[in-house]
């Protein structure tokens, strides 16, 4: 399989496994969608790590496969490509990308689908599609400017240049840079911590933030208000407040 889902202690690792560069061909895209939807459904998956291995995250699309596709073929395929990445972005649980080596084109777009990105010092990210006479097609023109702002996103998309980990951090493209050998460990630790948290409240927080980014503030506030009030009906809310009153802050156990 080109993508695997490994689950341990509440953390599901979506592991890309298509050596040597984890090129995202059609089969890999379809498998990614399938497993993202599985991670969404499974109650034993409470947080997710996206990982490509120690040497490379994903170097982009399978160019040889794409070269053989004409306009009609891509019209038929483009929606499925975007749907695969959207399935990752819509996992209603905390998702962290553990980025080592190259994360280019579709690889960068996949990292953009996560809630948080931890990169190794050896990471190189970019959207080089313009160098092929194309534009990003798996969400790069939409998620990248929402993350780092339109001017910085246009610079990366227009030039197709790669950025190293330190510049990616300065741009806000990644959130933390660590030694390459510690990327997965730290990403897993981030996910494991949240896997111990209140699952419904985390889901609510993610949906409120993501919905708010896509709409006007009044609609966003309505989503927030409805979730906020609704969480008062949950056992986790009762447990959290009871623990706060009896034991002090930060000691509630939600599992």
Give the catalytic positions in this structure: 109, 129
Between the CA atoms of 246, 250, 252 and 255, what dihedral angle is there, to the nearest 10 degrees?
A: 180
Q: Rounded distance, CA 191 to CA 172, Å?
A: 20
- E strand or H helix that includes residue 128: none
* DSSP-assigned beta bridge partners for residue 177: 119
Query: Distances from the Cα of 113 to the Cαs of 31, 73, 116, in angstroms?
Result: 16, 25, 9
Residue 61 burial (C-beta neighbours within 10 Å; 0-12, 13-18, 19+): buried
Query: Distances from the Cα of 44 to the Cαs of 6, 18, 48, 185, 202, in angstroms?
Result: 11, 26, 11, 20, 15
Residue 178 neighbours by CB distance under 10 Å: 17
Find the angle CA(203)-CA(205)-CA(209) to the nearest 5 degrees: 120
Q: What secondary structure does DSSP assign to 6-19, as a single string?
A: EEETTEEEEEE--T
Q: Rounded distance, CA 238 to CA 215, Å?
A: 31
């Amino acid at each position: 399989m080109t993508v695997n889902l490994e689950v341990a202690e509440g953390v599901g690792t979506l592991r890309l496994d298509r050596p040597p560069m984890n090129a995202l061909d059609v089969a890999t895209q379809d498998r990614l969608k399938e497993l993202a939807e599985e991670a969404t459904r499974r109650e034993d998956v409470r947080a997710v790590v996206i990982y490509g291995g120690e040497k490379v995250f994903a170097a982009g699309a399978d160019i040889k496969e794409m070269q053989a596709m004409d306009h009609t073929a891509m019209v038929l395929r483009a929606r499925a490509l975007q749907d695969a990445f959207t399935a990752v972005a819509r996992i209603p649980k905390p998702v962290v990308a553990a980025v080592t080596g190259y994360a280019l084109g579709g690889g960068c777009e996949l990292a953009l689908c996560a809630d948080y990105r931890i990169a190794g010092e050896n990471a190189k990210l970019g959207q080089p599609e313009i160098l092929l006479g194309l534009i990003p097609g798996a969400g790069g023109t939409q998620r990248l400017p929402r993350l780092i702002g339109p001017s910085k996103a246009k610079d990366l998309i227009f030039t197709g240049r790669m950025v190293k980990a330190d510049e990616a951090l300065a741009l806000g493209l990644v959130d933390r840079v660590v030694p390459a050998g510690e990327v997965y460990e730290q990403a897993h630790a981030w996910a494991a911590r949240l896997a111990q948290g209140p699952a419904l409240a985390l889901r609510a927080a993610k949906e409120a933030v993501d919905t708010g980014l896509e709409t006007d503030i009044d609609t966003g506030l309505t989503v927030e208000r409805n979730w906020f009030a609704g969480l008062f009906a949950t056992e986790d809310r009762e447990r959290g407040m009871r623990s706060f009153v009896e034991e002090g802050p930060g000691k509630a156990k939600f599992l």
